Structure 1
Amino acid sequence: MQVFTALSFLLFSRENVDVAIVEAGLGGARDATNVIRNSELAAAVITTVGKEHLAALGGSLQSIAVAKSGIIKEGRPVVIGGPFSTDIEQIIRDRAFLTQSPVISACDTAIRSITRCIGRDYAKPYQSCDIVMKISGDMPLSVELHDVKLQLLGDHQRQNAVTASCTALCLRELGWNVSNASIRAGLEKTQLPGRSQFLTQDEASVLGLDGASTILIDGAHTEASAKALSDVIKTVEPEGPVALIVGMASDKEHLAFAAQILSGRRPDVVLLTETGIAGGTARSMPASSLRDIWTGAALGHGIECADIGAIAGDEAPNVNIDHLTPTAGTDKPAPMLIGCGAAPFSCDLMKAASRLLRRADGGGAARGGLICVTGSMHMVAAVLQQLEQ
């Protein structure tokens, strides 16, 4: 990793870049990217403090906060995203105090951000937001942005947009020429492949899908990102049928991930598979193990499951229709269908999910529902690679 970091900095130097946005790798304080000196740093940004890499960074959220605050440099401003718990934010602020660094909080009470509505542009959803801030304190910042169309969905992405706006305004305060129009354009044009990414109908057709279903790919693989994904699903598909295709690496929090997803919109179909990592599946969690975990998580949420067994290729198994529809005259929902891909993940499993959703919806073509591929960036990469071919 150190070699790649050094090569990146060498490339930045040779290309004479005006601005480099450098993401720290594992933690921050001891990461290879942290060789940047304070004279070379415009601002440091700490977005969130989560549980990923917990063991490698000291075993607690507090130790992770200490590691991340190591990117704060002497006299250089730091933008903190959040929201953070009081003790975590205090760790970051204590470090900033020691380095005499101005602190700009994206959770400042002088900031107001709301999502007005969810719209669609060429069938792809966006959230229309207002971001208004008038911050006093270490570094006074103000801006009013109305009806900002964010292509990235969810409350967490709106908070990310606020954090990015704070950073841009911080640079403006430092003498950079950053207009309000530029901030708006940056927010509206930002796309993040593999994060809340909705495929177009043309892209779905490349994968052999008929376009009846909305296709969402998201590399969520932690408990926090599962909650964010669950919120997005609830927003864009509040009532229609939902299918999840999940493959995960073996070292992730599988139960916490499943429990968080199932606490939101209950999926109608869950298909577990094995994701290819570094050309093989040795580091992938076996699909059968994921099925057992998801079945247990579903029972914990009072969700009845119907095991549909293994799925070969794009063929949906012959499940009795009686198990797919709720009993007439009762409020009891149909059982959640759960099955395993018989081979490592391929886009054929998305076709099987589409067929299962259609059968679960009584065979109607009007409501194709939503199919979400998630659990790993490797899962997302497999879909994007298929699109490129």
Structure 2
Amino acid sequence: MNSYDKTLDFLINKLPVFQRNGPAAYKNTLGNALVLDRKYGSPHQNYKTIHIAGTNGKGSVSHMVAAILQKAGYKTGLYTSPHLKDFRERIRVDGKMILKEEVVRWVNDFQEKNIEWKLEPSFFELTVALAFDYFSQQNVDIAVIEVGLGGRLDSTNIIHPEISIITNIGLDHTSLLGSTPEEIAVEKAGIIKSGVPVIIGQKQKEVAGVFERVAQQKGASLCFAGQEFTVGYSMRGLDGKQIVNVRVKDKVIFPDLKLGLAGMYQLKNLPAVLKTVEVLKKKGWEISRENLYEGLAQTSELTGIMGRWQVIGYNPAIICDTGHNEDGIREVVAQINHIAYKKLHFVLGVVADKDPSNILALLPKD
């Protein structure tokens, strides 16, 4: 193995990894995250951040927001998880993945220092520390940070962001986050910070009160973006990409807005993105209408996102989508129902904490 392969072997095979170990890899404390942050000089304080949680859609929202910021000329860090093909997808600056040499250098440095520190971090804790330190070294203006799991006790929840975003609430990781939408919402609401505007993508009546209560307690302004913006189809291409019209009340404010990310479910994600841009502009960030249009149209090219109704082959059509829980699979199946096909084959992967029977029951029967 070369040095990079050895580094990945250490990260993925020697440390607890949620995608492999399931709940056994989850640590219900911020202890290691806080210690690592201190050891590296609190690097996240050297740049602004946006924090994004939610059961589904947080990855898409993260990439769309990052793309718009990039088009606005800001040097933009982007931390997302999990990766699809390459570990380095998780850590990007202006869409470019962290170099292999940087991963090797940082992990080697940690291993040397940890002889004295004697920390036992999980894969996610160490990866977050790497990302936050890397963004500081790269002198980013702002970093878009996607929560890994939950919110309150997630390793990313040491930041004090410009904006906190929660896309939606669904039943996922119930063994760790709670068995009801309300319990899960409490965990997600853990990213709401004192005085920091919070944007909820979709208003769901069973959990709206949770967010309203926590925001009031923290003195954080709150809005439900899906209530403010109405997104309607204009047209849809064969690849699933949409051109949409966006209304506020009865007025079209964003006509013919092209979404570079395919999938009808992106229409549910878009209001949170639009509200984020609105709030950022009020805070003094310079983002033009052209930046917004170009960022949304070119998200894939700008950020390298994969796996959102991504057509990776034709004849036969092969589509990759990272939907991995019941709500996510429902969205995938809804999209499939708009496509004519003779035979349908599914390859499905789920984490060890899920009962696949509930997901399998959602798949088309024909």
TM superposition score normalised by structure 1: 0.57
Larger Rg over CA atoms:
1
1:302 match: none
* Conservation of the 8 A alpha-carbon contact between 2:181 and 2:206: no
* Conservation of the 8 A alpha-carbon contact between 2:240 and 2:264: no
* Conservation of the 8 A alpha-carbon contact between 1:49 and 1:64: yes
Map Cα deviations across residues 177-208 of structure 1 (whole Å, 9 max, x no partner).
01111111121112331121012xxxx3xxxx
Q: Output the amino acid matched with 1:46.
A: I
SS of residue matched to 2:291? helix
Distance in 2, matches of 1:261 and 1:174, equals 44
* Structure with higher helix content: 2
Distance in 2, matches of 1:6 and 1:260, equals 38
Map Cα deviations across residues 266-310 of structure 1 (whole Å, 9 max, x no partner).
54xxxxxxxxxxxxxxxxxxxxxxxxxxxxxxxxxxxxxxxxxxx
Cα root mean square deviation, aligned: 2.1
1:180 match: 289
Q: Give matches, 1:199-214, under 5 Å.
A: 199=312, 204=313, 211-214=314-317
Distance in 2, matches of 1:182 and 1:114, equals 21
**Displacement of 1:143 after TM fit?**
7.9
1:128 match: 243
Greater RCO (Cα-Cα under 8 Å, separation 6 or more): 2
Distance in 1, matches of 2:295 and 2:307, equals 19
1:163 match: 272
SS of residue matched to 2:241? strand
* Stretches of structure 2 lacking an aligned partner (at least 5 in a row): 1-123
SS of residue matched to 2:144? coil
* Conservation of the 8 A alpha-carbon contact between 2:309 and 2:319: yes
Q: Runs of at least 4 residues of structure 1 off by over 4 A? A: none
Of 328, 344, 352, which aligns to 1:243? Answer: 344
SS of residue matched to 1:246? coil
Q: Output the amino acid matched with 2:260.
A: Q
% identity of equivalent residues: 29
Of 227, 231, 250, which aligns to 1:113? Answer: 231
* Conservation of the 8 A alpha-carbon contact between 1:153 and 1:232: no
Q: 1:177 to 1:197 in 2, by over 3 A?
A: same
SS of residue matched to 1:128? strand
Of 334, 337, 355, which aligns to 1:234? Answer: 337
TM superposition score normalised by structure 2: 0.61
Q: 1:11 to 1:134 in 2, by over 3 A?
A: farther
* Conservation of the 8 A alpha-carbon contact between 1:222 and 1:253: no
Q: 1:143 to 1:103 in 2, by over 3 A?
A: farther
1:101 is the counterpart of 2:220: yes
Distance in 2, matches of 1:177 and 1:16, equals 18
* Conservation of the 8 A alpha-carbon contact between 2:262 and 2:308: no
2:126 match: 3
**Displacement of 1:217 after TM fit?**
1.2
Q: Give matches, 1:43-122, under 5 Å.
A: 43-84=163-204, 86-108=205-227, 110-120=228-238
**Displacement of 1:231 after TM fit?**
1.5
1:255 match: 357
* Conservation of the 8 A alpha-carbon contact between 2:168 and 2:201: yes
Distance in 2, matches of 1:5 and 1:212, equals 40
Distance in 2, matches of 1:101 and 1:242, equals 50
2:162 match: 42
**Displacement of 1:214 after TM fit?**
2.0
1:22 match: 145
**Displacement of 1:60 after TM fit?**
2.1
Distance in 1, matches of 2:325 and 2:190, equals 23
**Displacement of 1:29 after TM fit?**
0.9
Map Cα deviations across residues 68-106 of structure 1 (whole Å, 9 max, x no partner).
11111111100101141x230110111111111111211
SS of residue matched to 2:277? helix
Distance in 2, matches of 1:257 and 1:22, equals 28
Q: Give matches, 1:336-375, under 5 Å.
A: none
* Conservation of the 8 A alpha-carbon contact between 1:125 and 1:151: no
SS of residue matched to 2:256? strand
**Displacement of 1:213 after TM fit?**
2.3
1:378 match: none
Distance in 1, matches of 2:206 and 2:323, equals 26
SS of residue matched to 2:344? strand
Distance in 2, matches of 1:76 and 1:143, equals 29
1:220 is the counterpart of 2:342: no
Q: Output the amino acid matched with 2:215.
A: A
1:194 match: 307
* Stretches of structure 1 lacking an aligned partner (at least 5 in a row): 136-141, 205-210, 268-389
* Conservation of the 8 A alpha-carbon contact between 1:72 and 1:101: yes
Distance in 1, matches of 2:343 and 2:278, equals 40
More displaced 10-residue stretch of structure 1: 9-18 or 58-67: 58-67
Q: How many residues align?
A: 238
Distance in 1, matches of 2:249 and 2:290, equals 17
Q: 1:143 to 1:33 in 2, by over 3 A?
A: farther
Distance in 2, matches of 1:13 and 1:230, equals 41
* Conservation of the 8 A alpha-carbon contact between 2:150 and 2:184: yes
Q: Output the amino acid matched with 2:189.
A: S
**Displacement of 1:219 after TM fit?**
2.3
**Displacement of 1:253 after TM fit?**
3.2
Map Cα deviations across residues 225-246 of structure 1 (whole Å, 9 max, x no partner).
11110121122x1x33241222
